Amino acid sequence: MRKFSTTRKALRVYAAYNPNYFPLLLLQTIFKNLSPYFNLWMSAEIVTLLYEASDRAEIYKMVLVTILGNLLIHIIGAALTKSVNTQLEILNNNEAAAFNHKTLSLDYDKLENPEIRQHRRNIKENAYINYYGVVSMRLAVEWLFDCTINLVFALVLFAEMVTLIGAAGFQWPGVVLLVLLVAMVAFNIYFQSVHSGKTSVAWNEVGKLMLEENRLGRGYSRSGMDNRIYRQQLLMDKLNKKMEKRHREVFSKVHALSFQYSVPVVFFQRMSELVSYLIICFYCVLGAFPIGGVIKYVGYLSKVTSSVGNLFYCFGEMVANEKFLKVYLDYFDIKNDMYQGSLAVEKRSDKQYDVEFKNVSFQYPGTEQFALKNINLNLKVGERLAVVGMNGSGKTTFIKLLCRLYDPTEGEIKMNDFNIRKYDYRQYLDIFSVVFQDYHLLAMPLGNNVASAENWDTEKAERLLEEVGFGARYAEMPKKLETPLYKNFDEDGVNISGGEAQKIALARALYKDAPFIVLDEPTAALDPIAEAEIYAKFDEIVGDKTAIYISHRLSSCRFCDKIAVFDKGEIVQVGTHEELLQNEKGKYYELWTAQAQYYTT
């Protein structure tokens, strides 16, 4: 049973997502398999009555019992099937929610870790392409239930048959046939196991190929405009031809293996059925059971032999799926190691939160190069700080450290004289409102997006939307704050432009009413003048909050109290706009001169 240790662990985790599913599935499987056995039994009884020329009333009675019994089994089975489908939907939703919750609960450094992101993609792609993982496990359990229930029903009636044979006296030809039947079943089991193992390896290769094809297809589907401009169709056609060749080779191998190992499986299945007929007919002639027993017991023996073979094939599939389940479980076993802190963040009415970077350096995991080197900077309450520099100079990394999405590799960050690691992590995050450059809005009502909560303050949300310049668009929305954004889940949803989405993101940042407001290049797609106008307008409504504006352009910096100039991961200059321009050899002067054509007259 060591082979199935991972399956058992995964099954416990998976079943907990909806404890009702598997018990209901078992009950449904019982009724699904009851019908053929009931029909075999009743058919045998009716044939016996006909053969013995019994009273017509007795025959009609058996036919009526058969019809009503089938009707009852069908009604109960249909009700159970409906319940099972409902519970399966709940199970799948809960499993997806648990997977997403695990992802969102990871430390941010792990969320961005390329290996962990690839780990997550592998789980999803395995499930989409060849159902390996929890989907394959669920299907195997369904199959296992089916085989087991069939075996239980068949073996009960097989025991009845053996009892009747024993009462009639065992005859050596019958014993030989029984031994031969057992041998046929054993051979069938062996070849089923070999067939399962060999074809599983081959299908794994198919799965890998299909993943490549799927990724190629996704890339191709996203390159519509580029395809037309650069005639990428020619390149894609060549790649597709190579894929098609590999596709044919791999599938030929799979089909050859499947045929090679299915031939003995089918042969021994048919031989088992033949021997079953011979056994039943032999003992029927001897008078061990009536003529209807030929129908009944042959059907039962066929069920026994096929169910045993399927059972072992199912075990083979479960063994092949173990490594995929381990990948799934390993994802849930990823541990968070960021210290969460315990010191309460004081809720100050004066918003007196002073921050200091002391000799802070930082390397991203898995890299040798420092993204930030020896950063020293003080940020006083109510200040306006502009963080400027070229792309890749460390501006966004600086904000990630300030918001404690990462911890410094060297040095420390203090707030009100305490290392920020000592503060309760959740409470510390609550003092920041950030509009990241890659911000996202949810396909939910506008009010939910502004408030980032289930309920919202209508007056406050509408005031902030007006202040950030969304008022005219808001007036056109028939459902106001109830208006769904996008059409993912609602046909009445409203598609919004990039500029409108940006304004909603700004309103969301203000709605949180946090002491720190950070704009991390959310307007990078705009021209410098438009960006400066948005920053200036936003600055008017920030009030007494501490604000940080990040940009590689300088048009938004002139109104700030202090400007920190980043270059290659270091702060190379700090000062006001006027002070920094006086140093004609400084980095700020170089950037300003290069960009001045865009925002000077």
> Which residue segments constitute the domains of the chain, with CATH numbers given?
2-332 (1.20.1560.10), 346-431+514-601 (3.40.50.300), 438-506 (no CATH)
Q: In the prediction, which pLDDT does 73 show?
A: 84
**In the chain, what percentage of residues exceed pLDDT 70?**
77
**Residue range 89-121, pLDDT digits in tens:** 999 889 888 888 888 888 888 888 888 888 888
User: For residue 235, is pLDDT > 80?
Assistant: no
- What per-residue confidence (pLDDT) applies to 439? 82
Instruction: Determine contact, residues 168/283, Cβ cutoff 8 Å.
Output: yes
Return the residue matching tokens 């007929």.
277
- The 10s digit of each residue's pLDDT in 12-48 is 989 899 999 999 999 888 888 878 777 777 777 777 7
Mean of pLDDT over the chain: 79
Q: Which helix (H) or strand (E) holds 549?
A: strand 546-551
**Beta strand extents in 277-430 (DSSP E only):** 355-363, 370-379, 384-388, 410-415, 418-419
Query: For 268-289, what is the mean pLDDT?
Result: 73
How many whole angstroms separate alpha carbon 527 and alpha carbon 524? Answer: 8
- Do the strands 384-388 and 562-567 form a parallel or antiparallel pair, or are they unpaired? parallel
Question: pLDDT value at position 519?
Answer: 85
- 168 phi, psi to nearest 5 deg: -85, -10
* Residue 361 pLDDT > 90: yes
Highest mean pLDDT among 128-137, 294-303, 325-334, 556-565: 325-334
Q: Where in 240-380 does DSSP place strands (E)?
A: 355-363, 370-379
Residue appearing with tokens 């409102």: 433
What CA–CA distance (Å, rounded) separates 422 from 344?
A: 9
**Of 6-20, 208-222, 273-287, 293-307, the least confident:** 208-222
Beta-sheet pairing, 370-379 with 516-520: unpaired
Identify the pLDDT of residue 161. Answer: 73
Q: Kindly report the pTM of this predicted structure.
A: 0.72
Above 90 in pLDDT, residue 243?
no
Q: Would you say 398 and 387 are in contact if contact means Cβ atoms under 8 Å apart?
A: yes
Could you give phi then psi for residue 411, rounded to 5 degrees?
80, -170
Query: Which H or E run includes 59?
Result: helix 56-105
Q: What is the pLDDT of residues 156-172, one digit of tens each?
A: 777 777 777 776 666 66
Instruction: Give tens-digit pLDDT for 409-451.
Output: 999 999 888 898 999 888 888 888 888 878 888 888 888 888 8
